[in-house]
A and B are shown apart, each in its own frame.
Chain A
Amino acid sequence: MGAELTVRDVRVARGGRQVLAVDHLDVKASEHLFVLGPNGAGKTTLLRLLSAVDRPDRGDVEVDGVPTRRLGLEERRRIGYVTQRPALLGTTVLRNLELPLRWRGLPRERRRALALAALERLQVAHLAQRPALRLSGGEQQRVNIARSLACDPDLLLLDEPAAGLDPEARAIFFTDLERALADRAVTTVQVTHRPEEALRHADRLVVLVDGAVRQVDTPEMISRMPADAAVATVMGYDNLLTARVTPDGAVLVGEWPTGLHTDDLGPGPAVVAAFANAVRIVPSGRGGLPAVVRGVSPGRGHRVVLLDARLPGERVPLVSHLGVDAPAPAPGEAVCIWFDDALSAVLR
């Protein structure tokens, strides 16, 4: 059974500045939670609190109801913590895995079996006898995770485990990690700043910005309805525009219609968050937001069109992803813009 986590009224300050403030956060047993946020949001600080390595200045982090500051050695040993930089020890890969098992008093044969099984699970069993510090970054991180897995933790904390890997290696890495975790009841909390990975692998998502929890929800919900502009940015929304909601629910940007409509928000100022593929380009004179094409370049399976929206008194840069079968606009061309309802969010 995976461990349950409760974070309550936690405050952490560094050099007189508050870097983390979490009023309440629950992680359910065997849940895979992702913590998403920009650099410096306090993600690692939070993870270190969960790992019981650090203690909060105020408040409590509880693992299965026990505050981390009262956690005994045996209870701490149920927690695995994979740091962003793989801190392997200056010995062979196998001994790196066996050492924590030795600390736990496991007999020699059992240590070896568990270590090899964990290496196997992360596809690095062939590296067992190599000096750990001579491995590549990706190999080291796999060994690092295997080491935590070998101890069979009830709670596994991972801090940007795929940092430093190229995108393809990341994809393989996450697939391997998911497979390695598949058959065990372990609660995981992973920190990342990449929304696509969080969206793909998380049961639930926490968005942390400036040391505060901005939104906790399923990937689907957060992606569809980011709580505010900061969350929208973290979730990878490409375009953010200041807007206004009319009493009948129409969303206007610079008094131009956008094709968007909201019933939940009520009249007043708002923000339109739109993915690049939500920005639809129509010929000039067909209504919508007036814009000028700044440039067109090929993308992966689409065209990237850079636009300047002509709002009263300012030009706002926008990016649009256009299907390759649609006719490409020419640079300098005046166009009109509509937003796709399903790929945009209207926020306050």
Chain B
Amino acid sequence: MVDPVYEVLARSALVSLTASLVAAAIGIPLGTWLALARIPGRGFVTAVVNTGMAVPTVVVGLFVALMLWRSGPLGELNLIYTVRGMVIAQVLLATPLITSITMAAVQLLPPELPGHLRSLGANRWQVVVRIWVEAKLPLLAAAMAGFGHAISEVGAATIVGGNIHGQTQVMTTAIVENVGRGEFGAALVYGGVLLALAFLVNGLLSSVQQRSGAWARN
């Protein structure tokens, strides 16, 4: 039967946390590069990232499922209907979002900052690290937004995860299942937990934004 709420919650959190960490590891460097690079191809990649943000989660889910299906190109890996498969799908969902927010955050820094850091004697890597430190609060917000996006989506989780009880069932797919069975009470419990989580994440986000606002240049 349906897992206890806490087990599903723990799985949801684990999947989405892993996915958003991986997505941050990709999206933050990519977004930084897009914000700073002055080379051809940058506009195209930016357009791809922005399109990526607008792709419905079910389409991402479908794409990942087609890749991971046994008949698909990555079928050998046996990742369809597994937690790892879900992480892959959510990484694809969260990465464009994190990349885009990172880009905006880095572009909000003083435009002369990278040149300035170089002139202070920073090497390439020291420049990037310092830019991340300067933008740490917006970058944290980016990662949290990625987490929020991942944990609240249902389309990809259903298609790639399969809502298998005790294995790949997460909060959102549990809600869909319970609504389908007319178990509105159980659906509301999951919904409430998800709402509380969203509230927590958003609360953290806004407090982070307020702090970063207070720390902004005068």
B122 in the interface (beta carbon within 8 A):
yes
Q: Give the docked Cα–Cα distance between A214 and B118 (Å).
A: 31
Q: Is the CB of B218 within 8 A of A147?
A: no
Interface residues on A, range: 20 to 34
A194 in the interface (beta carbon within 8 A):
no
Question: Given contacts A83-B116, A99-B130, are A90 and B121 in contact (CB under 8 A)?
Answer: no
Q: Which of A58-66, A71-79, A321-329 lines the interface with chain B? A: A71-79
Q: Is the CB of B121 within 8 A of A83?
A: no
- Contact for A87 among B113, B123, B133, CB less than 8 A: B113
Q: Is the CB of B110 within 8 A of A53?
A: no
Which residues 61-105 in A have Cβ within 8 Å of B in the complex? 73, 76-77, 79-81, 83, 85, 87, 89-91, 99-100, 103-104
Shortest Cβ distance from residue B113 to the other chain A in the assembled complex, whole angstroms:
6
- Contact for A103 among B113, B121, B215, B216, CB less than 8 A: B121
Q: Give the docked Cα–Cα distance between A133 and B215 (Å).
A: 8
Q: Is the CB of A151 within 8 A of B121?
A: yes
Q: Which residues of A contact B133 (CB under 8 A)?
A: 89-91
A24 in the interface (beta carbon within 8 A):
no
Measured CB to CB, the nearest residue on chain A to B118 is A53
Q: Is the CB of A73 within 8 A of B121?
A: yes
B115 in the interface (beta carbon within 8 A):
yes
Q: Give the docked Cα–Cα distance between A54 and B118 (Å).
A: 11
A134 in the interface (beta carbon within 8 A):
yes
Which residues 84-140 in B have Cβ within 8 Å of A in the complex? 110, 112-113, 115-116, 118-123, 126, 130, 133-134
Q: Give the docked Cα–Cα distance between A53 and B115 (Å).
A: 6
Question: Given contacts A87-B110, A87-B112, A90-B215, are A147 and B134 in contact (CB under 8 A)?
Answer: no
Q: Is the CB of B118 within 8 A of A76?
A: yes
B181 in the interface (beta carbon within 8 A):
no
- Contact for A83 among B112, B123, B218, CB less than 8 A: B112
Q: Is the CB of A103 within 8 A of B123?
A: yes
Q: Is the CB of B110 within 8 A of A100?
A: no
Q: Which residues of A contact B126 (CB under 8 A)?
A: 103
A51 in the interface (beta carbon within 8 A):
yes
Which residues 138-160 in A have Cβ within 8 Å of B in the complex? 147-148, 151
- Contact for B119 among A79, A89, A99, CB less than 8 A: A79
Q: Give the docked Cα–Cα distance between A47 and B35 (Å).
A: 25
Q: Give the docked Cα–Cα distance between A194 and B203 (Å).
A: 51
Q: Give the docked Cα–Cα distance between A148 and B113 (Å).
A: 15
Measured CB to CB, the nearest residue on chain B to A137 is B218
Shortest Cβ distance from residue B103 to the other chain A in the assembled complex, whole angstroms:
19
Q: Which residues of B contact A148 (CB under 8 A)?
A: 120
Q: Which residues of B contact A77 (CB under 8 A)?
A: 121
Q: Which residues of A contact B123 (CB under 8 A)?
A: 73, 103
Shortest Cβ distance from residue B210 to the other chain A in the assembled complex, whole angstroms:
15
Q: Give the docked Cα–Cα distance between A100 and B133 (Å).
A: 14
Q: Which residues of A contact B116 (CB under 8 A)?
A: 81, 83, 87
- Contact for B121 among A76, A85, A87, CB less than 8 A: A76
Q: Is the CB of A133 within 8 A of B217?
A: yes
Q: Give the docked Cα–Cα distance between A87 and B117 (Å).
A: 9
Most buried by A among B112, B116, B133, B217: B116
Q: Give the docked Cα–Cα distance between A256 and B112 (Å).
A: 54
Question: Given contacts A89-B134, A133-B217, A133-B218, are A100 and B113 in contact (CB under 8 A)?
Answer: no
Q: Give the docked Cα–Cα distance between A90 and B215 (Å).
A: 7
Shortest Cβ distance from residue B135 to the other chain A in the assembled complex, whole angstroms:
9
Shortest Cβ distance from residue A291 to the other chain B in the assembled complex, whole angstroms:
48
Mask, B7-47, CB within 8 Å of A = 1, is 00000000000000000000000000000000000000000
Shortest Cβ distance from residue A44 to the other chain B in the assembled complex, whole angstroms:
10
Q: Which residues of A contact B119 (CB under 8 A)?
A: 51-53, 76, 79-81, 83
Q: Which residues of B contact A90 (CB under 8 A)?
A: 133-134, 215
Q: Is the CB of B112 within 8 A of A100?
A: no
Q: Give the docked Cα–Cα distance between A144 and B217 (Å).
A: 15
Q: Give the docked Cα–Cα distance between A104 and B122 (Å).
A: 8
Measured CB to CB, the nearest residue on chain B to A89 is B134
Most buried by B among A54, A85, A89: A89
Q: Is the CB of B122 within 8 A of A103?
A: yes
Shortest Cβ distance from residue A132 to the other chain B in the assembled complex, whole angstroms:
10
Measured CB to CB, the nearest residue on chain B to A82 is B119
Shortest Cβ distance from residue B140 to the other chain A in the assembled complex, whole angstroms:
14
Which residues 121-163 in B have Cβ within 8 Å of A in the complex? 121-123, 126, 130, 133-134
Q: Which residues of A contact B130 (CB under 8 A)?
A: 89, 99
10 tightest Cβ-Cβ pairs between the two chains A and B: A81-B119, A77-B121, A87-B116, A100-B120, A53-B115, A100-B121, A53-B119, A51-B119, A103-B126, A103-B121
Q: Which residues of A contact B (CB under 8 A)?
A: 48, 51-54, 73, 76-77, 79-81, 83, 85, 87, 89-91, 99-100, 103-104, 131, 133-134, 147-148, 151
Q: A87-B112, A103-B126, A151-B120 are in contact. List 14 more A-B contacts (CB 8 A).
A: A51-B119, A53-B119, A77-B121, A81-B119, A83-B112, A85-B110, A87-B110, A87-B113, A87-B116, A90-B134, A99-B130, A103-B121, A103-B123, A148-B120
A-B contact pairs, 7 of them (CB 8 A): A52-B119, A53-B119, A76-B119, A77-B121, A81-B119, A83-B112, A90-B133
